[in-house]
Structures are given as structure tokens and as C-alpha cells.
A and B are shown apart, each in its own frame.
Chain A
Amino acid sequence: MRLSEMREGQSGRIVFVGGDMRLRRRILEMGLTRDSKFYIEKYAPLRDPLELTTRGMHVSLRVKEAMAITVEPLETDHG
């Protein structure tokens, strides 16, 4: 499943980060590495970008960028 398909309030685990190299590294460097857990905080009022929390930090990224990230949803436990 893609990160962009996740709903507000869902938790997940990163499986694979795709996209062009610059984007990939930027995402990885923000801590969204393989297997890291995240929680979808919210989508912006216009449904783009989205905000998630990972490693105790809030990160926002565009839906288009989130489309390149493969994730696996986890049972919701407000990670």
C-alpha cells in the first residue's frame, strides 16, 4: 500500500522509499528509513500535503511524494 493511501489516524511501517534519488535521500535523512514506524497526523485542509509523526518528529510531505513510498499499515495504537 502506498503512504498516500493511508488515512488520518492510521499507523504504519515504511517498506520501501522510491522516487528520484534526491527525494529518496531527503526522505530517508528525515528518518523515514525502512521499517521505521509512523503515524498519519493529518492531511492539510486542501488534502495536500500530509503530516506524519516519526521518531517523535512531525514531518510534512506532498501527496505526490507520499505516492512513492510503500508502507504497511499497522494496528492503530497512536504510535
Chain B
Amino acid sequence: MAEKNIRIALTGNPNSGKTTIFNHLTGTRQKVGNWPGVTVEKKEGDVEKFGCHLKIVDLPGTYSLTPFSIEEIVARNYILDENPDVVIDIIDASNLERSLYLANQLRELNCKVIFALNMADLALSRGYKIDAAKLSELLGVPVVFTVGNKGQGLDELVKTAVESAQSDVCIPETRKVRYSNDIEKAIAELRAAIEERTGPDFPYDRRWTAVKLLEDDTIIRQRLDEFLGRDSRELMEAADRLRARLTDLFHEEPEIVLTDERYGFIAGIIKEVMISSTRRRVDVSRNIDMVLTNRFLGFPIFIFFIWAMFQVTFTLGAYPMEWLEAGIGMISGGLDAMLPPGVVKTFLLDGVIAGVGSVLVFLPNILLLFFCIALFEDTGYMARAAFLMDRIMHLIGLHGKSFIPMLMGFGCNVPAIMAARTLESPKDRILTVMITPFMSCSARLPVYIVLAGTFFAAQAGTVIFLLYLTGIAVAILTGRLLRSFLLTGADAPFVMELPPYRVPMLKSLLIHMWDRAKMFLKKMGGIILVGSIIIWVLSAYPKNIDYDVDYQARIQAVNQQYAAQIADAGPQQKQGLKQAQQQQIDRLQREKQVEHAEKSYLGRIGQVMSPVFEPIGIEWRGSVAILTGFVAKEIVVSTLGVLYAVEGETDSEALRRALKSSGMTPLSALSLMVFVLLYIPCLATVAAIARETGSVRWAFLSVAYTTAVAWMASFVVYQGGGLLMG
């Protein structure tokens, strides 16, 4: 017997416990992706139950189905276009009145819908009792009680959903939202006009379409235009006429009147189904907020939480990071011993493993950061953080919630940019993503330590601090610039619910964390791999370089010379001689490396680019270091080490000496640091930008913009500094 396929969509207000129910229903068999064209997360899961194959889609949490936010458009379009067999609306029982707003919009859509009255236990403890049978009867919709975090009532919910999907019961006409007479008249008129022009293939409910036209719903208008072609003109004119008439009558736009009346309808329902026992309402969240958003304590506590998150992410994360590094080291060591020397070996070791490894080590940071963020979100604290920070962030044209991603940028830009997902408005999200790279990440710090330590000795700390401030200043300027030119328009309304505090569930925290990790590994991995290989090829090729010096012959000469000396020397001198021999050979090897770097494609590019870098006081070695820093900014230091022929890459003291003796001035060092601070974020960050903004265009813009800003800032530093010093 063929199994029946049933598609179930979950809707509900944010914080209604929808995600918890989804997690319970689907467990770990979830597919997380994006809705096409937008960066709203799409979650799907497959479940076998009651002899049916259920495909459950978690729609974005919304308060309404108006076409004003991407989440709402996505949710509505899914229901309109994909026609799920049944929609389950998760209703927060302790917040029934507001939840019924979305619920009624679903009913108006005339799709098959059932209600899950979630967290009824909480409602009861707050002194509300809900008569589900009455609610079901009044609205003509099946109602099931659930307690999502305990998994209660979910079997019955699914059973009801399956039954409802297979039946052809509709919401009876008499149970629908009735508006006042004038509105109903207008709806009837418009509905008749629609019926006249559409056949049986018209995909939407006609009454609903009429209501939407009265509300001047741009998306529905557009769809009707496409569906009806020329016929739509008269219809639109009729709608506009009716709108004008209603506006005249109510002294108010029809959409406002309709919203008002829907709430009026809901108030009537509430009166019938909700029994408010003695008004013994203990609002725990209010008591918690007495402390957490207190005028005096709010900020210190917030700063403490952020500090704790930083500590967990970067200090605690440093241990697994070390283990990963050690593990990667072991793998490459093992391969080093196993493989014969040759192109394949260097490709694997220096290209693939070094490149992917340099990104993989961030995995613990990302897991921990997202665990913390999920904790903030699931407890309800994130909304409070936005509440506290909004005033400050609004100065840059950002939302209060942007603070956390931007701050995390000081640790690592990649998770920071991924954290921008917590922002609801796409404009805020893109803006946050675009300015986060100016937050100086921890990978840039080693560059400052080496350069500032070498050239500014006692003032190194101040110089580094000023660099961080410069980054923040550029971020603010960039924010303002983008707001006034590219991301213009009114701010998205801040109006936001401060949801009740809740004890988070470990399962959902872990699922959240794992989703991020998977995303990071999959998407970043691919791009990073390709990027590292390209950089490796550029630095390793051409293989046959015309060396100015015949290093092989020199090394042989050294060997011969010492072989003779060692043979003659006594046993005590032998040790010293061997060391001297090794030193000379090492020096020759390094010189060879430098020449190879100079003559590799990368070195040649560096030299070709030198006219570009000359005005900002960076010579070709610096520019090659900058180019390699594109893979990961930590690499800048090791490249400098290689190019300045330092003994042992990790010995920073030696690099300092070499830098000093190379003729680099403090001014050009400063210029280089400013450039490293501001220029293209690393490859992983660019990949993250492309992913989170949903378009490669923003990533390109970021690359071009940051580089231009870096160059100009360095130019100002180098030339301006030169002028100042005469």
C-alpha cells in the first residue's frame, strides 16, 4: 500500500514555542536551509506516523500575515503557493488574544488549519483557563492542547492534523470573521467583481482576495495583475474606489479599520472562551526585569553577560582549538612521513590541509558562540539586550540587536556575521554584516603585536588601542554612509515583544548549535578549500625558477668544506662544526625560499602591485603578505617571516630584528597596520558575507569598499605622517 504524503506547515507567533514543537516532532531529522532568495531560515523535517509520510515545514514566526516583513511574506507565500495539506498554528495559550490575530488571518485564508494551544499549563498558572471545546466550536477549527517543552499532546496534534488533511471539512461560512456592515458590503461588491473575472482556476479564496484588495496589499495586487492581465485594471479601480469610500466613511484607511475590527472580533471570542480566575497574576518576567533592565543594574549586568560570552567563546574555546590544531598537525605530520616528496604532497600539506585547517580551527569558537547566542535567545534575554542597547546602536542607524554581532567581531568576524541572523529586518542585517569586518578580529592582533612592538616599543599598547578605535570609527562612518546611500528608507519599526523569560531546553540549544556548525563546515569549507588552493598554487608555482644563485651547488660546497674540516677536527670540535654547517645550510635554504617567494606568481603579483602600494609606504614584501592574508589574516605574520628570511617562523624576536634592519620605518609600519586593520576581511568572512546577505554582490562590494577604505586610510597615515614629520 502506497503511503500517503501529507505536508504540514507550522505557523505561530515568535516565542510561541513553535520551534520547540518542531524539534520534538522531527527530532534531529531536520533539513535547514534558506527560503529561496532570502536569508530567512527554512527548516523541514520528515516523519513517518499513522501510516503517513509527513513533511513538516517550520514557517517563520510572525505576528501577522501582512506583506511588511520578509518573514511574513515567506510564511504567507508558502501557504498560498505550496498549498500545504494542513497548517498547524501554534498558539501561546498564555497570550491567547494576540495569538488569535494570526490565527484569524489563517482562517481568512481559507486553508485547512488546526490550533495547538501551547503552554496551557503556564496559562493556568497565570490564572487563565481556556475552554478549548468552545473555542473550537466558535472558530470552526480543531483545537488541541499541547505542552511543547514536555512533548505532551503532540501525538494527538499530529493525529488531528492527519485527519484534518484527509477530510474535506472547511471552516463554515457562519464562523468567519464578520466585519461591520459597510466593510462587508465593500467586500461583497469586490468579491462579486472578482468572481466575474475569474474561473475555477483562480488559486485564492475570493473573499480573502477582496479583503486584501481593500487593504491595498501590494503583493496580492501584483499577483492579480499577473493572473488577470488586462482584466485586472477595472478590478483595481473598483478596489481603489471602495477604499476611498471607506476612508471617507471611517476617516481612516480601511486596513486600520479592518485590524481594529479583527481585534474586536477576537475580544468577543476571548470573552466566551477564557475564564480569568482571581486576578492573581504573578508576572515572573516582570520581577526578573526589575533587575535585568534596571536603570542602574541593567548595563553592568549586560556587560557582564557579554564578557562571559566572550570568555566562553574565545578563552574556553582556545582549548579545543589547540586540540584541533594538534590534530591537524598530526595528520599533516603523518602524511609528511607517508607520502613521497613531490607536488601531490606539497599540494595536500601546504594547500589543502593548511588552508582548510586554518579555518577548521574556528569550529569550537563557532559552536560555543552559537550556544551562547541560542541561550540568550531561548531565555528571552536577547530582546532585553536590544532594549538596553537600542539607543546607542540607533545612532549608527542600527537596531539594538546589532550590538552582539558587532561585538563578536572583535573575536572573529565569521561567527559575528553569522550572528547577524538574529536581526529581523533585512536592512539591519545587511548593514550589520557590512560593518562587522571593521571590528578588528583576533587574527589581526598578531600583526599589530609584531609591528607595533617593533616600531613603537613603549607606545605599542596605545597604538594598538588606537587601531581598534579607528576600526570602530570607520564602522560607524560606513554605517552612516550605507544608511544614507544604499540602504535608505525609514527604519524598520522597533516595536518588539519582550517575551516572558523561559528556561531553555538543552535539546533545542544543541540543535541550534549543530545547525550552525553544519552550515559553517559545508559552505565555508568549500570556498575556503578552493581559495587556499588558489593561493597555494600562486605561491608554489612556477616550479622551475631561474635562481640568481645556484643554491644546490652552494649547499654542496658548504657540505664538502665542512666534511673535510669535521674529518680533521677532534671529537669536541666536531659538534660545533656540525652546528655551524647546519646554520649555513639553513641560511642558504632561507635565501632560496625568499627568492622563490619573490619569483613565484604571488611574488610577481606583489611586485606588479608595488606601484599601488608605494604611495602608502608598503614595499613588495608587505604587499605579498597582505595578499596571503586574504586566506586568513594570521598568515600575514608568517608570510612576513618567510619573506624577511627569519630563522624559524615562530620566533617573533628574530622577525622584529629583521624588520628593523630591512629599512621599514615606523610610519610605513603604521600604514601597514592600518591597511591590515581595514582591508578585505579574510576569505571565510567574504564567504560568510555572501551567504548571510544572500548575494555575491554584497560580498564584492565589501571587498572593493574595504580595500578602497584601507588604501585611503593608509595613504592619509603615510603621506600625512610624512608631511607632519617634515
> Which residues on A are within 8 Å of B, measured CB to CB?
17, 20-31, 33-34, 36, 41-42, 44-49, 51, 53, 55-62, 65
Contact B101–A20 (Cβ < 8 Å): no
Q: CA of A71 to CA of B395 in the docked complex: distance in angstroms?
A: 27
Q: CA of A68 to CA of B681 in the docked complex: distance in angstroms?
A: 41
**How many chain B residues have a CB neighbour from A under 8 Å?**
43
Using CB atoms, name the residue of chain B closest to A31.
B98
Using CB atoms, name the residue of chain B closest to A52.
B498
Given the contacts A21-B253, A58-B285, A28 and B98 also touching, CB distance less than 8 Å? no
8 Å CB contacts to A: which residues of B485-524? 490, 493-500
Contact A44–B255 (Cβ < 8 Å): no
With beta carbons under 8 angstroms apart, the residue of A30, A47, A53 that contacts B391 is A47
Contact B497–A59 (Cβ < 8 Å): yes
Nearest CB of B to A20, in Å: 6
Nearest CB of A to B124, in Å: 14
Interface residue B110 (Cβ < 8 Å from any Cβ of A): no
Sort A-B residue pairs by CB-CB distance and give the 4 closest, nearest first. Answer: A46-B391, A58-B498, A29-B64, A28-B259
> Which residues on B are within 8 Å of A, measured CB to CB?
63-64, 66, 68, 94-95, 97-98, 101, 126, 253, 255-256, 259-260, 263, 281, 285-286, 289, 293-296, 298-299, 383, 387-388, 390-392, 394, 400, 490, 493-500
Q: CA of A60 to CA of B383 in the docked complex: distance in angstroms?
A: 9
Contact B260–A49 (Cβ < 8 Å): no
Contact B255–A21 (Cβ < 8 Å): yes
Q: CA of A1 to CA of B259 in the docked complex: distance in angstroms?
A: 23
With beta carbons under 8 angstroms apart, the residue of A17, A21, A30, A45 that contacts B299 is A45
CB neighbours of B256 from chain A (8 A): 17, 24-25, 28
Contact B63–A30 (Cβ < 8 Å): yes
Contact A44–B390 (Cβ < 8 Å): yes
Nearest CB of A to B499, in Å: 8
A–B pairs, 21, beta carbons within 8 Å: A22-B493, A23-B495, A24-B256, A26-B68, A27-B493, A29-B64, A29-B66, A30-B495, A31-B263, A33-B259, A45-B388, A49-B400, A51-B387, A55-B95, A56-B97, A57-B497, A60-B498, A61-B496, A62-B390, A62-B394, A62-B494
CB neighbours of A45 from chain B (8 A): 293-296, 298-299, 388
Given the contacts A28-B256, A28-B259, A48-B391, A60 and B494 also touching, CB distance less than 8 Å? yes
Nearest CB of B to A6, in Å: 16
Q: CA of A23 to CA of B357 in the docked complex: distance in angstroms?
A: 47
Contact B494–A56 (Cβ < 8 Å): no
Q: CA of A22 to CA of B493 in the docked complex: distance in angstroms?
A: 8
CB neighbours of A57 from chain B (8 A): 95, 98, 497
Nearest CB of B to A10, in Å: 16
